[in-house]
Protein backbone atom coordinates (compact mmCIF):
# COMPACT_ATOMS: atom_id res chain seq x y z
CA UNK A 1 0.00 0.00 0.00
CA UNK A 2 1.44 3.39 -0.98
CA UNK A 3 1.07 6.35 1.33
CA UNK A 4 1.04 9.83 -0.11
CA UNK A 5 0.92 13.27 1.35
CA UNK A 6 0.09 15.49 -1.59
CA UNK A 7 -1.00 19.09 -1.40
CA UNK A 8 -4.23 19.10 -3.34
CA UNK A 9 -4.56 21.73 -6.06
CA UNK A 10 -7.38 23.11 -8.12
CA UNK A 11 -7.05 23.47 -11.84
CA UNK A 12 -9.19 24.57 -14.76
CA UNK A 13 -10.19 22.21 -17.55
CA UNK A 14 -11.56 23.64 -20.78
CA UNK A 15 -13.25 21.40 -23.32
CA UNK A 16 -15.97 22.19 -25.83
CA UNK A 17 -16.39 25.60 -24.16
CA UNK A 18 -17.28 23.90 -20.86
CA UNK A 19 -15.26 24.76 -17.78
CA UNK A 20 -15.09 23.01 -14.44
CA UNK A 21 -12.69 23.16 -11.55
CA UNK A 22 -11.44 19.91 -10.15
CA UNK A 23 -9.32 19.07 -7.14
CA UNK A 24 -6.46 16.71 -7.96
CA UNK A 25 -6.21 14.23 -5.08
CA UNK A 26 -3.45 12.14 -6.64
CA UNK A 27 -1.94 10.69 -9.80
CA UNK A 28 -0.53 7.18 -10.23
CA UNK A 29 0.96 5.14 -13.06
CA UNK A 30 0.88 1.34 -13.04
CA UNK A 31 1.93 -1.34 -15.49
CA UNK A 32 1.15 -1.94 -18.29
CA UNK A 33 0.96 1.83 -18.90
CA UNK A 34 -2.22 2.81 -17.04
CA UNK A 35 -2.62 6.31 -15.59
CA UNK A 36 -4.96 7.00 -12.65
CA UNK A 37 -5.98 10.56 -11.82
CA UNK A 38 -8.12 10.84 -8.68
CA UNK A 39 -10.18 14.01 -8.34
CA UNK A 40 -12.79 15.81 -6.34
CA UNK A 41 -15.08 17.60 -8.79
CA UNK A 42 -17.94 20.04 -8.43
CA UNK A 43 -21.25 18.34 -7.60
CA UNK A 44 -23.55 17.68 -10.53
CA UNK A 45 -26.83 16.14 -11.60
CA UNK A 46 -26.12 12.55 -12.66
CA UNK A 47 -28.53 10.17 -14.41
CA UNK A 48 -30.26 7.85 -13.83
CA UNK A 49 -31.32 9.83 -10.78
CA UNK A 50 -32.53 6.74 -8.89
CA UNK A 51 -28.94 5.35 -8.87
CA UNK A 52 -27.14 8.58 -7.95
CA UNK A 53 -27.16 10.95 -4.99
CA UNK A 54 -29.06 14.12 -5.86
CA UNK A 55 -27.07 17.30 -6.41
CA UNK A 56 -28.75 18.96 -3.40
CA UNK A 57 -27.43 16.21 -1.07
CA UNK A 58 -23.98 16.06 -2.69
CA UNK A 59 -20.83 17.73 -1.34
CA UNK A 60 -18.37 16.46 -3.96
CA UNK A 61 -18.36 14.41 -7.16
CA UNK A 62 -15.44 12.01 -6.55
CA UNK A 63 -13.72 10.74 -9.71
CA UNK A 64 -11.10 8.36 -11.02
CA UNK A 65 -9.97 9.03 -14.56
CA UNK A 66 -8.30 5.84 -15.80
CA UNK A 67 -6.61 5.92 -19.19
CA UNK A 68 -3.79 4.38 -21.14
CA UNK A 69 -0.58 6.40 -21.04
CA UNK A 70 0.56 8.04 -24.28
CA UNK A 71 3.84 6.06 -24.19
CA UNK A 72 5.03 2.57 -23.23
CA UNK A 73 1.70 0.83 -23.68
CA UNK A 74 0.78 -2.59 -25.06
CA UNK A 75 0.65 -2.91 -28.87
CA UNK A 76 -2.75 -2.07 -30.33
CA UNK A 77 -3.63 0.14 -27.36
CA UNK A 78 -5.15 3.55 -28.13
CA UNK A 79 -2.95 6.18 -26.41
CA UNK A 80 -5.04 8.05 -23.86
CA UNK A 81 -7.96 5.60 -24.22
CA UNK A 82 -10.30 4.81 -21.32
CA UNK A 83 -9.71 1.59 -19.34
CA UNK A 84 -13.10 -0.14 -18.83
CA UNK A 85 -14.25 -2.97 -16.55
CA UNK A 86 -12.27 -2.04 -13.43
CA UNK A 87 -13.92 -2.18 -10.02
CA UNK A 88 -13.06 1.01 -8.14
CA UNK A 89 -14.17 1.86 -4.63
CA UNK A 90 -13.15 4.39 -2.04
CA UNK A 91 -13.21 5.01 1.69
CA UNK A 92 -13.32 8.66 2.71
CA UNK A 93 -12.35 9.12 6.38
CA UNK A 94 -12.78 12.35 8.34
CA UNK A 95 -9.37 12.82 9.95
CA UNK A 96 -10.89 14.71 12.93
CA UNK A 97 -13.77 12.41 13.86
CA UNK A 98 -12.92 9.06 12.24
CA UNK A 99 -16.33 8.96 10.51
CA UNK A 100 -16.19 7.12 7.17
CA UNK A 101 -18.06 6.96 3.89
CA UNK A 102 -17.74 3.92 1.62
CA UNK A 103 -18.45 4.39 -2.07
CA UNK A 104 -18.28 2.39 -5.30
CA UNK A 105 -17.27 4.49 -8.29
CA UNK A 106 -19.28 3.61 -11.39
CA UNK A 107 -18.65 4.36 -15.07
CA UNK A 108 -19.74 7.86 -16.10
CA UNK A 109 -19.50 9.98 -19.24
CA UNK A 110 -19.59 13.74 -19.63
CA UNK A 111 -18.29 16.41 -22.02
CA UNK A 112 -15.34 17.40 -19.82
CA UNK A 113 -13.64 14.10 -18.88
CA UNK A 114 -15.45 11.77 -21.29
CA UNK A 115 -15.47 8.22 -19.80
CA UNK A 116 -14.43 8.03 -16.13
CA UNK A 117 -15.42 6.35 -12.86
CA UNK A 118 -17.24 8.55 -10.35
CA UNK A 119 -19.95 9.04 -7.76
CA UNK A 120 -21.71 11.94 -6.06
CA UNK A 121 -20.93 11.80 -2.33
CA UNK A 122 -21.86 13.44 0.93
CA UNK A 123 -18.74 13.85 3.05
CA UNK A 124 -18.67 12.19 6.50
CA UNK A 125 -18.33 15.56 8.23
CA UNK A 126 -17.96 19.23 7.50
CA UNK A 127 -16.69 20.42 4.11
CA UNK A 128 -13.91 22.30 5.95
CA UNK A 129 -12.53 19.14 7.60
CA UNK A 130 -9.50 17.28 6.24
CA UNK A 131 -9.98 13.78 4.87
CA UNK A 132 -7.99 10.62 4.27
CA UNK A 133 -9.01 8.94 1.03
CA UNK A 134 -8.26 5.35 0.00
CA UNK A 135 -8.94 4.17 -3.52
CA UNK A 136 -9.18 0.42 -4.15
CA UNK A 137 -8.63 -0.73 -7.72
CA UNK A 138 -9.68 -4.28 -8.56
CA UNK A 139 -9.11 -6.06 -11.83
CA UNK A 140 -12.19 -7.10 -13.83
CA UNK A 141 -14.04 -10.15 -12.55
CA UNK A 142 -13.57 -13.52 -14.25
CA UNK A 143 -16.76 -13.07 -16.32
CA UNK A 144 -16.34 -9.34 -16.98
CA UNK A 145 -13.40 -9.48 -19.38
CA UNK A 146 -11.96 -12.28 -21.51
CA UNK A 147 -8.27 -12.41 -22.45
CA UNK A 148 -6.69 -13.54 -25.71
CA UNK A 149 -3.61 -15.75 -25.67
CA UNK A 150 -1.32 -12.93 -26.90
CA UNK A 151 -2.25 -10.82 -23.86
CA UNK A 152 -1.63 -13.70 -21.46
CA UNK A 153 1.68 -14.53 -23.14
CA UNK A 154 2.92 -10.96 -22.67
CA UNK A 155 1.23 -9.69 -19.51
CA UNK A 156 -0.88 -11.74 -17.12
CA UNK A 157 -4.37 -13.06 -16.69
CA UNK A 158 -5.38 -9.70 -15.21
CA UNK A 159 -5.62 -6.31 -16.82
CA UNK A 160 -3.79 -4.99 -13.74
CA UNK A 161 -2.93 -6.31 -10.31
CA UNK A 162 -5.24 -5.05 -7.54
CA UNK A 163 -3.99 -1.76 -6.09
CA UNK A 164 -4.67 0.53 -3.15
CA UNK A 165 -3.75 4.22 -3.07
CA UNK A 166 -4.05 6.32 0.09
CA UNK A 167 -3.95 10.10 0.44
CA UNK A 168 -3.95 12.25 3.57
CA UNK A 169 -4.93 15.81 4.45
CA UNK A 170 -7.27 16.27 1.51
CA UNK A 171 -9.36 19.43 1.80
CA UNK A 172 -12.56 19.63 -0.23
CA UNK A 173 -13.53 23.04 1.19
CA UNK A 174 -13.04 25.05 -2.02
CA UNK A 175 -14.45 22.51 -4.48
CA UNK A 176 -17.48 21.73 -2.25
CA UNK A 177 -18.51 25.41 -2.27
CA UNK A 178 -18.63 25.61 -6.09
CA UNK A 179 -21.61 24.96 -8.35
CA UNK A 180 -21.88 24.06 -12.03
CA UNK A 181 -24.99 26.19 -12.47
Please identify every stretch of the chain with a pLDDT value under 70, giving residue numbers as ranges: 1-20
- pLDDT reported for residue 21: 85
pLDDT of residue 8: 45
Q: Describe the strand order of the beta sheet including 60-68 as a list of residue ranges.
A: 2-5, 163-171, 130-138, 87-94, 100-110, 114-121, 60-68, 34-41, 18-30, 9-15
Q: Give the pLDDT confidence score for residue 15 in this predicted structure.
A: 36
pLDDT of residue 20: 58
Q: What is the pLDDT of residue 181?
A: 84
CA distance 140 to 157: 10
Fold of 2-176: Immunoglobulin-like (2.60.40)
Q: Which DSSP category does 141 fall into? A: P
For the chain, domain boundaries? 2-176
Question: What pLDDT, on a 0 to 100 scale, did the predictor assign at position 72?
Answer: 86
Mean pLDDT of the chain: 89
pLDDT digits (tens, 9 = 90+) for 28-46: 999 999 999 999 999 999 9
Amino acid sequence: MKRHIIPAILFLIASNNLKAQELIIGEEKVQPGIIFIFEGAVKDVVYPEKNNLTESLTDVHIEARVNWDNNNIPPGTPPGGFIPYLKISSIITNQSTGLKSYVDLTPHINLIDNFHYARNISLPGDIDDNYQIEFFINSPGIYDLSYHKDWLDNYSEFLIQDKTFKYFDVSFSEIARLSRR
